[in-house]
C-alpha cells in the first residue's frame, strides 16, 4: 500500500454533494494519480439519489455500494455480459474500494432468476468453520462466552472464505465474458490507486485501535500510524497480485498455492488470538446450491436464501403474518401498521433464535415455519391490538423430540448488497460480507479476512440443551443476509437486499412493504425511515420521519430507542415501463442502467 495523493473527490452523501479535501503531505507531482473522477452517469445517478428519484433504464441495471464498482459492472453489461459476469467485476472492485464490508476474504449468498428458463437458484458461498473447530471455540477455560470483540479480532473468528468460489461458480453457470477480463478493472484500480471514500475514512478513524493490532492491517489502513483520510489515493499491489492469480488459475488460485498459504499464515500466526483455519479447510471449500425459500405475499412470490441464512425464512414469516392485515389501507404513517410489523418481526426472531442454523448439521423446519396454518396461528397472537409481553418461539411441524435452546446471536451491521438485471432478463441478488466492519482486522495477500465465525452462538448449550447454531467443524454460521427476488407470474418484479447484520431482515421487510403495500417506487422504498423490532424494544431511525412515531408507539406500550439505522438497500424494480433502480442514501452506492 502507498498513500500518495492529495485529491479532491466528489462524493454524494445523504442528499448533498460534499467536496472532500484532505490536507496531506504529498508530493505535488503525485496529485492526479489514481482513479478519482466521477463519470457523468455516476454524477447523474448521485443527483437522482440526492433528490429522492429512482434511476430509469430499459435494458440492464446495476446497483451496488460504490460508484467505481457499479461502473465496472455497467461496463460489463453494456458490452453484452450477463448479470453473473457483471457481479464478478462488481465484487472484485468492492473488495478493493469498500474493503470494510466484503471481499475475497469473506462469504456471500446469491439468488438468481434465469431469464431463459424462469428457474430460481440460490447459491451458498458462506464461510465455514475449520475442521479443527469445536463448540467451545468462543468460550474461555471456564466455559463462559468470550466478549464479542475479544473473539472477533485476530485469527480465531476467521472462517474459510466462500466469495472467490461463489464468483467462479456463478460465472461457470451463467457467465459468458472472458473470466480474466472481469478482474481487470479491479486489478487496474488496485495498481493505479483509488480515492478513499468519506465512509471508508470515517470507519477507519473510528476503528483505529483494532486496526492497529495486526501489522499488515495497520500498514494498509493506518500508514505511518495515521488513519487514511477521505480523498487519499490508496494502492494495493498485493490485491492486484492475488486477482492475477485468480484470473490465471480460477478459484484454485485462491484456495491453493501462495494465496492460501498467506491466509493460513495470517490466521495461525496472528499475534492476537491465533486461529485454526488450515490448508485442508481451504482446499475442500465448496459452494453449495440450496433450495430457494419462497413465500407468498400479495399475489407475489418472495424468494430468497434458506439456511444457513435465516433471511428468507424470517422475511417470509413476517410477510405471512402480515398477509391478513390491510396495511395498504392503514398506511405508512399509522402506528398500527408498525405494531403489526413489529410484533410479527418479534415472533419471527423468536423462531429464528430457536430453529435457524446450518441445515447440513441440524434439521431446520423450514416448511413448518412457513406453513400458512402455522403463520395464521402466530398472526392470531398479535391480532388484538396489543403488544406481546414476551415473544417466544412457536412449535411448527417438526420432530419435537429434537430440543434446541434459544441462541439469540446477532450478526453485526457490516456487509454489502449487489442487485443486477441484465438485458436477457436474468436477475441477480447477492449479499456479501466479511461480517463486522473490517472483519477480523487481519490482512492476507491484499484483502481482509472475515470474522464470520462469531455469527455462531458463543454458547454451545443452555440448561443442558444444545443450541442449534453452536460451532461445529465444517459448519456454516447462521446469517441474516436476505438477498431477495420478488416474482409475479414467474417474472421478476423486484430485486433487493441490504447490509445491516440482524437489521437486514427488517430493512428488507420495510422496503418490501413500502413498495408492495404502500406503492412507493424503489427509491422511495429504500430511503423510507426505518423502524425495527427484534426483541421488544422498537428501534426508530433518528432524524427520519420514523422518529415521529416514537410517542404513538410508546403509547401502545413499546420501549422506543432512537438511533442510526445504516441500511444499504439496493433495489431494482422491473415493470412494463422498464427498470427503476434505487440506492440507499445512507451509504455511497449508486444505480446505473441503460
Ligand atoms: N454477518 C452478517 C450476516 O451474515 O448476517
Question: What are the tens digits of pLDDT across the range 255-295?
Answer: 999 999 999 999 999 999 999 999 999 999 999 999 999 99
What count of Cα atoms within 13 Å lies in the side-chain half-sphere of residue 385? 2
Q: Is the confidence at residue 354, as pLDDT, over 50?
A: yes
Q: Is the confidence at residue 538, as pLDDT, over 70?
A: yes
7-34: average pLDDT: 32
Q: End-to-end distance of the chain based on CA atoms, in angstroms?
A: 35
Residues 106, 127 contacting (CB under 8 angstroms):
yes
Question: What are the tens digits of pLDDT across the range 34-48?
Answer: 565 578 999 999 999
Confidence of residue 23 (pLDDT cuts 50, 70, 90): very low
415 is catalytic: yes
* Confidence (pLDDT) at 253: 98
User: What's the chain's length in residues?
Assistant: 594
| Arithmetic mean of pLDDT over the chain | 92
Q: Is residue 495 part of a domain?
A: yes
Among residues of the chain, what percentage have pLDDT more than 90? 89
481 CA distance to ligand 1 middle (Å):
6
Q: Is residue 569 part of a domain?
A: no
Domain total in the chain: 1
Q: Is residue 395 part of a domain?
A: no
Question: What are the tens digits of pLDDT across the range 114-159?
Answer: 999 999 999 999 999 999 999 999 999 999 999 999 999 999 999 9
Residue among 504, 506, 508 to mutate when testing ligand 1 (max atoms within 8 A of CB): 504
Q: Is residue 49 part of a domain?
A: yes
Residues 292, 122 contacting (CB under 8 angstroms):
yes
Query: Could you give the CA distance from residue 449 to residue 473 in angstroms, rounded to a whole number?
Result: 19
Q: What is the residue-wise DSSP string for 166-217?
A: HHHHHHHHH--S-HHHHHHHHHHHHHH-EEPPHHHHHHHHHTHHHHTSSHHH
43-56: average pLDDT: 97
Q: Is the confidence at residue 29, as pLDDT, over 80?
A: no
Greater confidence, 303 or 3? 303
Q: Is residue 318 part of a domain?
A: no
Among 13, 415, 416, 431, the one annotated catalytic? 415
435 CA distance to ligand 1 middle (Å):
6
351-360: average pLDDT: 96
377-382: average pLDDT: 98
Residues 524, 52 contacting (CB under 8 angstroms):
yes
Lookup: cell for 216: 499488515
Domain containing 224 equals: 5-289+415-499+574-593
332-353: average pLDDT: 97
167-174: average pLDDT: 98
Q: Is residue 44 part of a domain?
A: yes
Q: Specify which residues 588 forms β-bridges with.
A: none
- Establish whether residue 455 lines the binding site of ligand 1, counting it when its CB lies within 6 angstroms of any ligand atom: yes
Lookup: cell for 498: 441490504
* Residue with CA nearest ligand 1 atom 3: 479
458 CA distance to ligand 1 middle (Å):
15
Q: Is residue 245 part of a domain?
A: yes
Q: Is residue 249 part of a domain?
A: yes
Amino acid at each position: 500500500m502507498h498513500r500518495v495523493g492529495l485529491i479532491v473527490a466528489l462524493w454524494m452523501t445523504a442528499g448533498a454533494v460534499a467536496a472532500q479535501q484532505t490536507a496531506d503531505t504529498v508530493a505535488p507531482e503525485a496529485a492526479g494519480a489514481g482513479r478519482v473522477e466521477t463519470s457523468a452517469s455516476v454524477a447523474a445517478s448521485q443527483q437522482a439519489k440526492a433528490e429522492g428519484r429512482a434511476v430509469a433504464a430499459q435494458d440492464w441495471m446495476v446497483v451496488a455500494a460504490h460508484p467505481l464498482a457499479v461502473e465496472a459492472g455497467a461496463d460489463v453489461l453494456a458490452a453484452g455480459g450477463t448479470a453473473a459476469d457483471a457481479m464478478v467485476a462488481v465484487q472484485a472492485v468492492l473488495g478493493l474500494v469498500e474493503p470494510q464490508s466484503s471481499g475475497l476474504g469473506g462469504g456471500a449468498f446469491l439468488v438468481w432468476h434465469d431469464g431463459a428458463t424462469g428457474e430460481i437458484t440460490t447459491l451458498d458461498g458462506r464461510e465455514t468453520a475449520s475442521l479443527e473447530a469445536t463448540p467451545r471455540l468462543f468460550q474461555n477455560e471456564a466455559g463462559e462466552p468470550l466478549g464479542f470483540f475479544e473473539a472477533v479480532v485476530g485469527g480465531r473468528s476467521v472462517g474459510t472464505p466462500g466469495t472467490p468460489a461463489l464468483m467462479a461458480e456463478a460465472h461457470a453457470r451463467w457467465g459468458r465474458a472472458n473470466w480474466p477480463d472481469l478482474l481487470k478493472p479491479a486489478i487496474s484500480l488496485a495498481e493505479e490507486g483509488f480515492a478513499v471514500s468519506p465512509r471508508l475514512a470515517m470507519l477507519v478513524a473510528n476503528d483505529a485501535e483494532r486496526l492497529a493490532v495486526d501489522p499488515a492491517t495497520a500498514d494498509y489502513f493506518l500508514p505511518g500510524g495515521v488513519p487514511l483520510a477521505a480523498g487519499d489515493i490508496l494502492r494495493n499491489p498485493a490485491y492486484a497480485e492475488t486477482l492475477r492469480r485468480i484470473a490465471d488459475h480460477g478459484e484454485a488460485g485462491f484456495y491453493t498455492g501462495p494465496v492460501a498459504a498467506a491466509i493460513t499464515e495470517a490466521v495461525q500466526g496472528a499475534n492476537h488470538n491465533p486461529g485454526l483455519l488450515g490448508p485442508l479447510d481451504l482446499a475442500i471449500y465448496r459452494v453449495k446450491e440450496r433450495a430457494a425459500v419462497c413465500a407468498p405475499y400479495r399475489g407475489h412470490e418472495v424468494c430468497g436464501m434458506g439456511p444457513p441464512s435465516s433471511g428468507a425464512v424470517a422475511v417470509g414469516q413476517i410477510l405471512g403474518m402480515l398477509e391478513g392485515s390491510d396495511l395498504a389501507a392503514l398506511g405508512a404513517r399509522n402506528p398500527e401498521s408498525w405494531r403489526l410489523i413489529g410484533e410479527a418481526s418479534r415472533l419471527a426472531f423468536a423462531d429464528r433464535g430457536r430453529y435457524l442454523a446450518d441445515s447440513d448439521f441440524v434439521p431446520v423446519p423450514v416448511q413448518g415455519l412457513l406453513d400458512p396454518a402455522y403463520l395464521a396461528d402466530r398472526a392470531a397472537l398479535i391480532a388484538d391490538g396489543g403488544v406481546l409481553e414476551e415473544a417466544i418461539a412457536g412449535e411448527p411441524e417438526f420432530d419435537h423430540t429434537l430440543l434446541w435452546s434459544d441462541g439469540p446471536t446477532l450478526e453485526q451491521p457490516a456487509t454489502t448488497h449487489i442487485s443486477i438485471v441484465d438485458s436477457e432478463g436474468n436477475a441477480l441478488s447477492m449479499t456479501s460480507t466479511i461480517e463486522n466492519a473490517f472483519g477480523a482486522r487481519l490482512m492476507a495477500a491484499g484483502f481482509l479476512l472475515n470474522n464470520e465465525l462469531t455469527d455462531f452462538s458463543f454458547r454451545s448449550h443452555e440448561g443442558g440443551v444444545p443450541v442449534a447454531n453452536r460451532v461445529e467443524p465444517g459448519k456454516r454460521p447462521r446469517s441474516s443476509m436476505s438477498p431477495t427476488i420478488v416474482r409475479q407470474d414467474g417474472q421478476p418484479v423486484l430485486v433487493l437486499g441490504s447490509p445491516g447484520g440482524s437489521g437486514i431482515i427488517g430493512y428488507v421487510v420495510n422496503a418490501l412493504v413500502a413498495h408492495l403495500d404502500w406503492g412507493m417506487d424503489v427509491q422511495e422504498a429504500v430511503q423510507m425511515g426505518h423502524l425495527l423490532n427484534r426483541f421488544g424494544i422498537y428501534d426508530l431511525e433518528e432524524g427520519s420521519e420514523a422518529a415521529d412515531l416514537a410517542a404513538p408507539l410508546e403509547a401502545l406500550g413499546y420501549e422506543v430507542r432512537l438511533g442510526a439505522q445504516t441500511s444499504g438497500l439496493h433495489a431494482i424494480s422491473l415493470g412494463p415501463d422498464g427498470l427503476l433502480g434505487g440506492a440507499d442514501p445512507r451509504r455511497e452506492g449508486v444505480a446505473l442502467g441503460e
